[in-house]
Structure 1
Amino acid sequence: MSLDPSMAGHGQQPHNQQIPIPISITICGDGGCGKSSITLRLVRSQWTSEYDPTIEDSYSLTRHIDGQTYHLSLTDTAGQEEYRGMWASSNLGADAFLMVYDITSRDSLDALQYFDDLVSMEAETRLDNADRARRAGLSPAQANNNSSTFCTSATGGTGKTIPPVKMVAGNKCDLQESRQVPAAAGLEWARSRGCGFMETSARLEVNIEETFALIVRRVVEARRLAETGLMESIEMNARGMTKPLSPIPDSVNDEKRTPGLRGPSLNGGRIGRPRSGFWHRFRCW
């Protein structure tokens, strides 16, 4: 995934002249797992070791992926249990959810079940909305344009008809010596709930851009499947089945970079792109 080019080159048409496609992403997880660090690393290329509990922060940015410009609206939500009741219904209206845990804390992985339950209920509501829209003879685009007609959520809902994409990120993968959650355990947790999976490090900037690129691709694919009437694949993913929307393609940007191969090796802290071993096997799902 590449950043939008600058306006300095007068002879080139900048990517940001395209009409950006909006995608909303809610970031959730237990307190202290690194949600804000991941967000700030993506938005500002910054990282801080200081922990300041977040109630809710919102950010907007653009990214150019596969020849298209996207406007990403990120909501960094509260992780502390005492703040979880403050979740607004708008947080559940996102196109995608990034559920973050800390690989050095098994409890932080267990805490994701709370958020997955909320997202799963929202997915069920959207599937019901889609079913009602089909019976009314409306396309997904028409149903979303008339979302108030299909608003069935007890919290107010959004009336959306496409279930949200779910992604799990095992953060702090640079702290291998303190690992409590094996990568295979995180992968299995994600797979059994119909989620994509990455391990990330906000501190070393490992798989941050790649994670959001994967989210964007899966949202785009879900929209495409809905428009072509192939809702079965989306429904399987949304209902916690193990079938992913699709594997991540080998080309993640204009430079044809392979995703997810950037990260510390198990026998050292260096950043590299190994062709085999741990980081090759668990780069994404």
Structure 2
Amino acid sequence: MPYAGESPPPVPISITICGDGGCGKSSITLRLVRSQWTSEYDPTIEDSYSITRQIDGATYHLSLTDTAGQEEYRGMWASSNLGADAFLLVYDITSHDSLEALGYFNDLIDMEAETRLDNASRAQRAGLSTSGAGSGARTIPPVKIIAGNKCDLQESRQVPAAQGLDWARKRGCGFMETSARLEVNIEETFALIVKRVVEGRRLAEMGVLDNTEMDRRGVTKPLTPLGSEDRDSDPEKRGVGTRGPRLDGDRVGKRMGFWRSLRCW
């Protein structure tokens, strides 16, 4: 317990990052942790990182696990990866197959969520707490956020933003589009994850075991598109950290109307 005047210790949150090989999981992770981006593809078996962030006045210690996407390594997706507070499921907007590949990971996560709900029900019947970060018994269903990565590659887009959002909604997931290369919605995505985890823990303290409805209705500030003056410019010259993707060729809404109305879930 901190002394008077001392800051409370960082709140621990664990996040597992998953998705098909080559969709940019490691690029997203390294952009967050080291502010780096590389165009070289080096298949990951499993890497772990730690980073501290301040969000809404509180300090959080994020433990990130960057997992293997290739099918030959998926057998290594053991219970240790499923024990996370949250999952970032990444696909590549230039590949339909990478979105479909998320079904494998989503099914595993949903089975883990059911196990946690069973644990929580038993704990409640026994009069035990079902909340608290770092609890030995996993009783709070994990947060799931879908990230459509490489949104800077509009000319090669195969997955419209509306399709990615619909895929996420049907599975009770949050949704973002990101670009590790241009640093679009990287910090915002992890901030959204933290807020969802905090909300899930708060609901657990209130005795609400199933937080999937929170994911279905969750709303944060809107994603905003790049300005029209940037649409035809060289992507390398666009401002780093600009929020929201270019939408050339993305047939959703009228011109930029879709992204004006879409709220990242």
Report the TM-score range of the alignment, normalised by the length of the smaller protein. Answer: 0.7 to 0.9
* Counterpart in the other structure of 1:6: none
* Counterpart in the other structure of 1:77: 67
Residues 22-101 of structure 1 mapped to structure 2, 5 A cutoff: 22-101=12-91
How far did 1:247 drift? 1.5
Question: Residue 30 of structure 1 contacts residue 100 of structure 1 at CA under 8 Å; is this kept in 2?
Answer: yes
CA distance in structure 2 between the aligned counterparts of 1:143 and 1:202, rounded to whole angstroms: 29
* Counterpart in the other structure of 1:150: none
CA distance in structure 2 between the aligned counterparts of 1:143 and 1:219, rounded to whole angstroms: 10
How far did 1:260 drift? 3.6
CA distance in structure 1 between the aligned counterparts of 2:139 and 2:116, rounded to whole angstroms: 5
SS in structure 2 at match of 1:214: helix
Question: Residue 44 of structure 2 contacts residue 68 of structure 2 at CA under 8 Å; is this kept in 1?
Answer: yes
TM-score (normalizing by structure 2): 0.85
Residues 129-168 of structure 1 mapped to structure 2, 5 A cutoff: 129-141=119-131, 145=135, 147=136, 159-168=137-146
Give identity over the alignment, percent. 74
CA distance in structure 2 between the aligned counterparts of 1:217 and 1:230, rounded to whole angstroms: 17
1:277 equivalent in alignment to 2:242:
no
Gaps (5+ residues) in structure 2? 1-5, 245-255
CA distance in structure 2 between the aligned counterparts of 1:142 and 1:104, rounded to whole angstroms: 39
1:181 equivalent in alignment to 2:145:
no
CA distance in structure 2 between the aligned counterparts of 1:261 and 1:68, rounded to whole angstroms: 26
Residue 219 of structure 2 aligns with an amino acid whose one-letter code is P
Question: CA RMSD, aligned part only?
Answer: 2.3
| CA deviation profile, 1:136-162 (whole Å, cap 9, x unmatched) | 1112148974x4xxxxxxxxxxx3000
TM-score (normalizing by structure 1): 0.79
Gaps (5+ residues) in structure 1? 1-15, 148-158, 251-258
* Counterpart in the other structure of 1:243: 216
Residues 185-224 of structure 1 mapped to structure 2, 5 A cutoff: 185-224=163-202
* Counterpart in the other structure of 2:116: 126
Question: Residue 37 of structure 1 contacts residue 202 of structure 1 at CA under 8 Å; is this kept in 2?
Answer: yes
1:267 equivalent in alignment to 2:241:
no
CA distance in structure 2 between the aligned counterparts of 1:173 and 1:210, rounded to whole angstroms: 15
Residues 249-260 of structure 1 mapped to structure 2, 5 A cutoff: 250=221, 260=223
SS in structure 2 at match of 1:231: coil
How far did 1:280 drift? 3.1
